[in-house]
Structure 1
């Protein structure tokens, strides 16, 4: 399972989602923009020179999980993941937890487009966000399934093929 966001690798919501996915037993690869790219939508902008520097480090407080940071929007990060840059293409992309609503008049949500990008490559995705409070309760914004085998969408982990969880 790939976890990304558009608020940056240091965002509290991103950390909460990574912890949640690990706690559910998923094999997690975390990859996110190095900085806040909110509103990046479908952007797949590549830095000048055509090279995308990648930084990897252990995810704070989550043993065995690395976070990969790139100076790129989430749609490009998910495209790279789906093309095998980080290993086997993901079956599922979780995006968020976004600090701000992705409903209504949002036209260019990087969080939402990360999941749409996964879908374009044949995977699935869920975008999560929280809004309406100055002090978000990140754990309250996590998905509400009790195990990876009881989620409420057609679980891609039950499919056969080369996609990883």
Structure 2
């Protein structure tokens, strides 16, 4: 879980508009492709060359959400290399191991699968320098996470943090998460992973076609959150990060100098217009463009200058 509010300067407004145009065009392509026919009977459209993708997450390299995405991307013709944490690293944001002189363990578990004893950001950084040292991947995909990363939760997300790390290194990046419905239980999230993965594979294809082969505008990552629904989602909404959180920690006294961390599930109303939290709650797929820049666009703070 890990990023930023996106302050809307004119430059960022142009970036958001560019992403909106690409996503809107991709939706039209998807709708028209359902009725497309080959130019000649029996002829199939020419296949598009697959991407070279680094796949990571914050739940660990063996997590079911990552496995579902890996299978869907490979089925779509992409070359997928997993470089992900060796164990669960949820909630670490963009944290990275910077104790210089320390050692980090990274092991090739099987062909195309690496585990890294570190954070999601460590995994992406290691992957770019060691696994993809000959050439950067075309895309970094992080997820699918077990549980949505919307609103204030995204600020701490290791899933989103991995995508921001890819973005900071000049690689187009997409974080993807599958909603957790507290009433439906964890099984509902597990069942929704394949649909999330198929949506992601289709989104990548649509972005490539709408962008003329280019996935995303420079300096932009996407935070995708897929809803749990009885049927198909109601569509895709281009959103902003909200301010609410579906879960927060509570610290309960549990002995001398000890506190037990328990969850609290607030029901605060969302105040951000067009928020990801709102879109997901209404059974839309939420796609939030992120730029990784924490700078306030027009800070006027008394006392800063003299």
Same fold (TM > 0.5): yes
1:105 aligns with 2:152: yes
Instruction: Note if contact 2:138-2:172 (Cα within 8 Å) is conserved in structure 1.
Output: yes
More helix by share: 2
Following the alignment from structure 1 to structure 2, what is the Cα–Cα distance between the partners of residues 146 and 109?
24
- Give the superposition deviation at 1:80: 2.2
Q: Distance in 1 between matches of 2:100 and 2:93?
A: 20
Which position in structure 2 is the counterpart of 1:81? Answer: 127
Tell me the SS of whatever aligns to 1:72: coil
In the superposition, the TM-score normalised over structure 2's length comes to 0.45
The separation in 1 between residues aligned to 2:97 and 2:173, in whole angstroms, is 21
Shift of 1:9: 1.1
The residue correspondences of 1:49-68 to structure 2 (distance < 5 A) are 50-58=102-110, 65-68=111-114
- Secondary structure of 1:50's match? coil
Distance 1:34 1:20, change over 3 A: same
The question of whether the paired residues in 2 share the 8 Å contact of 1:46 and 1:72 is answered with no
Corresponding residue number in structure 1 for 2:194: 139
Unaligned stretches of 5+ residues in structure 2: 1-52, 216-306
Partner SS for 1:80: helix
Q: Which residue of 1 aligns with 2:249?
A: none
C-alpha distance in structure 2 between counterparts of 1:70 and 1:13, whole Å: 18
Structure 1 residues 8 and 46: CA distance shift in structure 2, 3 A: farther
Give the unaligned 5+ runs of structure 1.
Answer: 59-64, 158-165
For residue 28 of structure 1, give the secondary structure of its aligned residue in structure 2.
Answer: strand
Aligned residue among 106, 121, 143 for 1:96: 143
Pick closer, same or farther for the CA change 1:124–1:111 going to 2, 3 Å. same
**Contact 1:46-1:52 at 8 Å conserved across structures:** no
The structure with the larger Rg is: 2
